[in-house]
């Protein structure tokens, strides 16, 4: 088969997945769940599954652009076969080509020889005072490149699936949560020292970054570039309070979208310092969104009280490093508790159904009176066993049935 035929066959299979009756049912479940409606079961969301170890990940297309979309469709089809509670949307999400990213300075990465190894960064802000050399970000889309990509994809697949161009600004998610960019510019150890040694300069830098993100978001809104595929909450973005995701619906104000932030780089600082040196700068950005989600892999156990300052907060991450019992007691039913068990314990090494059940029974038992969902994420390996994640979903469903009936 040629590249075009390969992609069209995969797209037809994906459209069948999107049209399953179950997808409509899941939309209703997530909508009620994220709106804190009582009486539902915990939902399961598989966010990662060591795709590079799956036999289904082997692509056949020779063209680089089309090969990327082949990988996307194969990944979605494999994900659908896991039968978790993910929703699959009947469109192809195409990011716009952005004309401005980053902050004008970048550090050199020294990468390991191991293809999946780590790297060391020479952080560009050698001295904190050098922040004055940063470039103020702007919302800029390369319209010609975006058009070319859209037309090429539409030529191959447009009669099967619509191409949904995401024109929402580049500075969101990890590019817009402040903490990620700050860590990349200065380095975590330096940031923690700066909090003690140069707090005034650090506040200046954070104010500059906050104002830059706010300006970019406002520019995008004024140009009508935020769209209904711009929701971000590390889950399924359905809620009764907000419009559902939709293809090519632009001109949407931020108050109709989910916003998301985290502060993984500040995991080791106190709640007071997290509040002073990060949350107070994130709050003005988050306040423009309809609903917000907070947290990724960092332990937020001691920081839930400060997160209550976020007026539109709806979802809180409870990572593998958190005290699940304490988090459940603090969160109660005020927010959705996004429980994230350790991928190592769940599917990584020494796969044991009984151990998985034991961990899930314990932790979900603590969350029995919460609005909880379960996210499997950051799965780097399944030790070459492509069935593990599927088995994990089945085990998790059985534990949910035990505890919730």
pLDDT at position 94 over 90: yes
At 386 the pLDDT is: 87
Q: What is the pLDDT of residues 194-249, one digit of tens each?
A: 999 999 999 999 999 999 999 999 999 999 999 999 999 999 999 999 999 999 99
pLDDT band at 253 (very low <50, low <70, confident <90, very high): very high
Write down the mean pLDDT value for the chain: 97
At 115 the pLDDT is: 79
Q: What is the pLDDT of residues 272-311, one digit of tens each?
A: 999 999 999 999 999 999 999 999 999 999 999 999 999 9
Q: What is the CA radius of gyration of the chain?
A: 22
Q: With respect to residue 142, please indicate whether it lies within any of the assigned structural domains.
A: no
56: containing domain: 1-88+341-405
Tokens of residue 108, six digits: 């050199």
Q: With respect to residue 186, please indicate whether it lies within any of the assigned structural domains.
A: no
Handedness of CA 316, 318, 322, 324 (dihedral sign): positive
Q: With respect to residue 241, please indicate whether it lies within any of the assigned structural domains.
A: no
Q: With respect to residue 359, please indicate whether it lies within any of the assigned structural domains.
A: yes
Q: With respect to residue 280, please indicate whether it lies within any of the assigned structural domains.
A: no
pLDDT at position 116 over 80: no
Q: With respect to residue 196, please indicate whether it lies within any of the assigned structural domains.
A: no
DSSP state, residue 4 = H
Q: How far apart are CA 329 and CA 16, in angstroms?
A: 42
Q: With respect to residue 207, please indicate whether it lies within any of the assigned structural domains.
A: no
Number of domains in the chain: 1
Q: With respect to residue 119, please indicate whether it lies within any of the assigned structural domains.
A: no
pTM exceeding the 0.85 threshold for the entire prediction: yes
Q: How far apart are CA 252 and CA 169, in angstroms?
A: 12
What is the mean predicted confidence (pLDDT) over 138-162?
98
pLDDT at position 358 over 80: yes
């Amino acid at each position: 088969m040629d590249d075009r035929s390969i992609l069209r066959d995969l797209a037809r299979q994906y459209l069948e997945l999107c049209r399953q009756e179950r997808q409509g049912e899941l939309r209703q479940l997530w909508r009620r769940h994220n709106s804190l409606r009582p009486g539902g079961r915990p939902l399961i969301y598989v966010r990662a599954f060591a795709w590079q170890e799956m036999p289904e990940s082997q692509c056949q297309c020779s063209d680089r652009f089309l090969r990327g979309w082949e990988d996307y469709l194969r990944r979605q089809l494999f994900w659908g076969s896991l039968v978790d509670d993910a929703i699959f949307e009947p469109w192809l999400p195409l990011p716009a080509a952005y004309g401005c990213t980053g902050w004008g300075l970048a550090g050199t990465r020294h990468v390991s020889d191991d293809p999946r190894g780590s790297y060391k960064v020479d952080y560009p802000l050698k001295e904190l005072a050098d922040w004055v050399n940063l470039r103020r970000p702007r919302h800029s889309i390369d319209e010609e490149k975006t058009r070319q990509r859209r037309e090429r994809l539409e030529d191959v697949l447009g009669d099967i699936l619509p191409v949904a161009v995401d024109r929402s600004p580049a500075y969101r998610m990890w590019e817009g949560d402040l903490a990620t960019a700050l860590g990349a510019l200065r380095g975590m150890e330096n940031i923690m020292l700066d909090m003690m040694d140069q707090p005034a300069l650090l506040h200046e830098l954070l104010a500059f970054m906050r104002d830059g993100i706010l300006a970019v978001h406002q520019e995008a809104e004024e140009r009508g570039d935020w769209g209904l595929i711009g929701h971000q909450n590390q889950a399924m973005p359905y809620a009764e309070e907000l419009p559902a995701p939709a293809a090519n619906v632009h001109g949407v104000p931020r108050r109709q979208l989910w916003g998301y932030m985290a502060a993984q780089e500040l995991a080791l600082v106190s709640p007071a310092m997290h509040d002073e040196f990060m949350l107070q700068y994130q709050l003005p950005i988050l306040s423009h969104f309809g609903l917000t989600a907070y947290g990724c892999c960092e332990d937020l156990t001691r920081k839930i009280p400060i997160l209550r300052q976020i007026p539109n907060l709806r979802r809180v991450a409870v990572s593998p490093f958190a005290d699940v019992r304490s988090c459940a007691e603090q969160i109660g039913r005020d927010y959705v508790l996004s429980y994230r068990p350790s991928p190592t314990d769940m599917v990584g090494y020494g796969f044991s159904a009984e151990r998985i059940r034991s961990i899930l029974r314990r932790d979900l038992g603590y969350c029995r009176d919460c609005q909880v969902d379960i996210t499997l994420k950051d799965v780097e390996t399944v030790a070459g066993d492509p069935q593990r994640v599927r088995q994990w979903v089945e085990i998790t469903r059985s534990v949910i049935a035990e505890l919730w009936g």
